Amino acid sequence: MQQVEEEFIRRLKETEEMRGCITPLYNLYESGDEIILTADMPGVNKEEIDLRVGEDYIKVEAPCRSALRREEKYLLHIQLPVKIDPSSVRARYKEGVLEVVVKKKIGGVRIRVE
């Protein structure tokens, strides 16, 4: 298992170097009728965050302004486990953390419980 994790890290780092981008640390949560994505993206101006949401994905791109990293931008593309309503998206960026909240697309019919 440790070897699998090491290999994952190696490939991630090499891809970041080759493509000049950083994959931010992120968490994806499901809560009731919402999907919540948080991503740790320090060194970003809020106005420069390019956030795009489709029915089953969230994509985030933003320039990373830091002398420390050779990489130039953050890039995160998440395939979502369920379909969402893109018009319901709310997003905020606070102290280096981006939070995106979207509502799941709920279909079906309501059934009365006897």
Partner 1 sequence: MAAELLNAMSEGYEEIRVIETEPLEGEGFIVFEGFPDVGLVGAIAASFMADKLGMREVGYIEADALPPIVSVRNGRILNLVRIYRKDNLLAILSDVPIPASIVKPLSYKIMEWVSSKKPKLFITLTGIPEPSRINIEKPKVFVLGSSPELTEEAGKIEGVEKFKDGFVAGVKGMLLLEGVKRKINTLLVLAQSHFNYPDPGSAAEVVRYVAKLLNVEVDVKPLLESAEELKLRLRDLMRRTSQVMQGVQKAKELELPPVYL
Neighbouring residues of 74: CB distance < 8 A, sequence distance ≥ 6? 21, 22, 23, 24, 39, 41, 44, 60, 61, 62, 63, 64
Contact track, partner 1, 80-109, x by CB under 8 A: ------------x-xxxx-x----------
Give the pairing type, strands 50-53 and 84-94.
unpaired
Looking at the Cβ atoms of 55 and 92, the one nearer to partner 1 is 92
Rounded Cα distance between 74 and 114, Å, is 52
Q: How far is the CB of 60 from partner 1 (least distance, A)?
A: 15
Looking at the Cβ atoms of 20 and 96, the one nearer to partner 1 is 96
Q: Is 20 a binder of partner 1 (CB under 8 A)? A: no
**Residue from 38, 51, 72, 101 in contact with partner 1 (CB under 8 A):** 38
